[in-house]
Structure 1
Amino acid sequence: MKLLLGQTLSFVADPFVEEPTASARWERRGAVAVDEATGRIVEVGPAEDLRASYREAKVVDHGEALILPGFIDAHVHYPQTGIIASWGKRLIDWLNSYTFPEEARFGDRAYADEIAGRFFDLALSHGTTTSVSYCTIHPESVDAYFTVAQKRGLRALGGKTCMDRNAPDDLRDSAQSAYDDSKALLEAWHGVDRLGYVVTPRFAPTSTPEQLEALGALWGEHPECLMQTHLSEQTEEIDWVMGLFPEAKDYTDIYDRFGLLGEGALMGHAIHLSARERARLKEVGASLIHCPTSNTFIGSGLFDMPGLKAEGQRIGLATDTGGGSSFSMLRTMAAAYDVGQLHGTALHPAQLLWLATCGSAEALRLGDRIGTLSAGYEADLVVLDMASTPGIAQRAARAEDIWEQVFPTIMMGDDRAVAATYVAGRKV
């Protein structure tokens, strides 16, 4: 048994629904009891009480640092690790200039292993303990991603990115090979240790109707899996898509027609949605994944967080590496705050932290396993030093409550703020 001491914060309600300050349980001097054999949380509470209950436990005292559930990145492209922060392109040019040439390298298993290892190193250094990734069309890229995650004991989700048109010849598969490869990878990896397969059509314009139909059929055969794709990221993209599918009511309807819309669908970006699309997405229980650093970096638009949450949409938060400009979920929360301000709503620190932990867990249908400091949950944790730089420290010193204390770290923090990351109870 291990006892981790520090400030503790965990959510008991959705702070977009309940009053934000009442949505979380905070202990000024708290503790998390972890069973190292199972990698799960045994109990969370006041440090004095848990020290009395677990007298034989190994104690790790993090002082004034804040212990949170590990961050959950609900939409990344690990193969784009090497091209993050590439200058000056919008979506379609970004794909052609940077993404596709880099992804073509992932048929080389050694290269895929190298980049997967680098990606997880960077994610963990920023306190991210769960990632949901698009791989490439190459099965080797999926095997590399899951192999590295498995060796590290991580909870990781991902899938082969499928494209059979409007992509370079060396990055195209077919409707049949997309189905066959995805099914084989799903059978090899889904449910192994802490891994989950995600059916992954890149987005409608790079898949023929035949491929979308095949992947919809595969997801229908395996509803226990998630499905991820992109939706309404940029206005030019929407025009392109509707020219390819003129019979569809709108972009969302394309996925709906091919069995690629429902609970467990992770719809990346979802910025430029009509009222009909918003109603349909809520009706089927799809998850909308907000990628604020990407949306601003490549000029996509402003995600309507206040309006969508007011409708009751299910929303997760993501870096969108490497269209997103940071591996840090702290930086991503800060960008979400900025976007919220441009919509006229200042997101509360509780709402930002909830999106990066419990909210993303619920979006991934994993809310019963990760994203919360509670007994029985997997002990994936991040410990934040809330005085990691002089600028942050001087602002936090004026704080009158935990929210005012943590907000400077959300807005100005980076990997220096991550005092420790725990995966299944092990410090990494």
Structure 2
Amino acid sequence: MPVTCSHAIRGSFFDITRTVSTPDELLDAARYIEDGLLLLNAGKIVSLSPWQEESSQLPPGCELVDYRGKLIVPGFVDTHIHYPQTEMIGAFGEQLLEWLNQYTFPVESQYHCPQHSAQMSAFFLQQLLSNGTTTALVFGTVHPESVDALFSAAHGLGMRLIAGKVMMDRHAPEALTETPEQSYRQTRELIERWHNVGRLSYALTPRFAPTSSPQLLEKVRQLRQEFPDTWLHTHLSENPQEVAWVKALFPENSGYLDVYHQYQLTGRRSLFAHCLHLEDEEWDCLHHTDSAVAFCPTSNLFLGSGLFDLQTCWQKGVKMGVGTDVGAGTTFNMLQTLGEAYKVGQLQRYKLSACEAFYHATLGGAKALDLDRHIGSFMPGKDADFVAIDPAVSALQTLRHGNSRDIWEKLFVLMTLGDDRNIAATWVEGRCVWQCDKSRQAA
């Protein structure tokens, strides 16, 4: 039976072929093909094989794209990011609660404007694609306009995006708060308008427990019951002051996570960002409910929030992805984010290997989002989302790439020295949607 394909991609390929329960399983699940051929059709992956095995069998009319000299990996999965905070990235000198009041809330107050939302949505998505990120779980603002603009722009690009309107009814400026009834109504309208449209999905998005009254959390619970295939996206235990504030606001609960758990907001498609100061029973609750967490290294370091415990996350069997968390996070680039994740591990005597790091940024992140059936590797039938990486775009990178002994050292050097200059091309649903401008790269 002849193979049908629209595109054939030649280059070096690296992926993790299956999800794992321990880091020890990763080497057996990893695949590296130095000279490979990836066949695509109708936005899906047909096959990945060594060039010499399949090149003579290419069907007529199949366009060959030659990325020799590039490393091709599945598109990066960003499991926690705030698109409205793009324009305040790098804001100086505060920890979480002060930073929200001084920088975040004033910026987010602009997103009632559809034109501003549309402009920043387009800019944000181009930042993702130019950094090799093809899937993201995204915070909007309290304004429905912010989500309409983001989903509209992402739909036009064919991106896989999960996003939601912030739900917030207290402890924030009046212009950014709503009533529980208003939050329920606007969120429901957005779900009905956007959820499961193309590759878009909706996430119920209460900002965090301190800005959520019991009445609002009850509305979130109601929406979760009415739309059980939506996601839940919020923050958990990012900062010690925040944890103490939650205990004061919800004295009847045993801890921070218990606030969400009481309202049935834990579960398979629930993702909690940060999780730096968890008690043992909270880790256990995340595991037993099949919830997931987002590790946000640049944000955690920038705000001085704490160090994520990778080893405990593995030991407790909790699903984890990596989040850039722009704008407290300081880069859209997953390579730079993984480099900071390695340093976080070093501070706790945990050696984050390159194989593990790329797993968290691809298939592991997809698993955390309950999307590993669709994205995260080059297995047949998955969406053709991938990024071509140039491993040597500077004199220093060229030196280190050239003297690296194997793929593991090359990947580690890439995540230690790499940045947006290394992204050569980004493909979404079998189409090249971003390509490096060589003049920009040379500059």
Match for residue 172 of structure 1 among 177, 196, 203: 177
The within-5 A match list for 1:10-25 is 10-14=15-19, 16-25=22-31
**Deviation string for 1:94-118 (max 9, x for gaps)?**
1101110000000000000000001
Task: Give the unaligned 5+ runs of structure 1.
Answer: none
Q: Classify the secondary structure of the residue corresponding to 2:388.
A: strand
Cα drift, residue 380 of structure 1: 0.6
Cα drift, residue 131 of structure 1: 1.2
Counterpart amino acid of 1:153?
A: G
**Deviation string for 1:304-340 (max 9, x for gaps)?**
0112112211001110011101111111111111111
Match for residue 42 of structure 1 among 42, 46, 57: 46
Q: Classify the secondary structure of the residue corresponding to 1:400.
A: coil
Match for residue 331 of structure 2 among 326, 331, 343: 326
Match for residue 79 of structure 1 among 81, 84, 87: 84
Deviates more, 1:244-253 or 1:214-223: 214-223
In structure 1, the residue matched to 2:105 is 100
**Deviation string for 1:228-283 (max 9, x for gaps)?**
00000000000111110011100010001112111111000011000111111111
Q: Matched residues in 2 for 1:12 and 1:422: separation?
A: 19
**Is 1:352 paired with 2:357?**
yes
Indicate if the aligned counterparts of 1:213 and 1:259 stay in contact, CA closer than 8 A. no
The within-5 A match list for 1:1-400 is 1-14=6-19, 16-35=22-41, 38-56=42-60, 57-400=62-405
Give the aligned length.
426
Indicate if the aligned counterparts of 2:387 and 2:423 stay in contact, CA closer than 8 A. yes
In structure 2, the residue matched to 1:419 is 424
Deviates more, 1:16-25 or 1:365-374: 16-25
Cα drift, residue 19 of structure 1: 4.0
Q: Classify the secondary structure of the residue corresponding to 1:18.
A: helix
Cα drift, residue 22 of structure 1: 2.3
Q: Matched residues in 1 for 2:136 and 2:269: separation?
A: 15
Counterpart amino acid of 1:248?
A: N
The within-5 A match list for 1:402-413 is 402-413=407-418
Cα drift, residue 386 of structure 1: 1.0
**Deviation string for 1:341-396 (max 9, x for gaps)?**
11111111010000000001001110000111111110111011111221111111
TM-score w.r.t. the length of structure 1 is 0.98
Counterpart amino acid of 1:253?
A: D
Q: Classify the secondary structure of the residue corresponding to 1:252.
A: helix
Counterpart amino acid of 1:53?
A: Q
Q: Matched residues in 2 for 1:299 and 1:223: separation?
A: 36
Q: Matched residues in 1 for 2:77 and 2:211: separation?
A: 27
Q: Matched residues in 1 for 2:253 and 2:375: separation?
A: 37
Q: Which runs of 4+ in 1 moved over 2 A?
A: 12-23
Q: Classify the secondary structure of the residue corresponding to 1:9.
A: strand
Q: Matched residues in 2 for 1:259 and 1:405: separation?
A: 44
Q: Matched residues in 1 for 2:54 and 2:100: separation?
A: 52
Q: Matched residues in 2 for 1:17 and 1:269: separation?
A: 20
Indicate if the aligned counterparts of 2:209 and 2:259 stay in contact, CA closer than 8 A. yes
Q: Matched residues in 2 for 1:266 and 1:33: separation?
A: 33
Counterpart amino acid of 1:42?
A: V
Indicate if the aligned counterparts of 2:164 and 2:204 stay in contact, CA closer than 8 A. yes
Deviates more, 1:58-67 or 1:196-205: 58-67
Indicate if the aligned counterparts of 1:71 and 1:127 stay in contact, CA closer than 8 A. yes
Cα drift, residue 14 of structure 1: 4.3
Q: Matched residues in 2 for 1:19 and 1:401: separation?
A: 19
Q: Classify the secondary structure of the residue corresponding to 1:149.
A: helix
Indicate if the aligned counterparts of 1:123 and 1:327 stay in contact, CA closer than 8 A. yes
Counterpart amino acid of 1:108?
A: C
Q: How many percent of aligned residue pairs carry the same amino acid?
A: 39
Cα drift, residue 18 of structure 1: 3.4
Q: Alignment RMSD, CA only?
A: 1.0
Indicate if the aligned counterparts of 1:109 and 1:140 stay in contact, CA closer than 8 A. yes
Q: Matched residues in 2 for 1:14 and 1:335: separation?
A: 23
Q: Classify the secondary structure of the residue corresponding to 1:7.
A: strand
Q: Classify the secondary structure of the residue corresponding to 1:4.
A: strand
Q: Matched residues in 2 for 1:402 and 1:376: separation?
A: 26
TM-score w.r.t. the length of structure 2 is 0.95
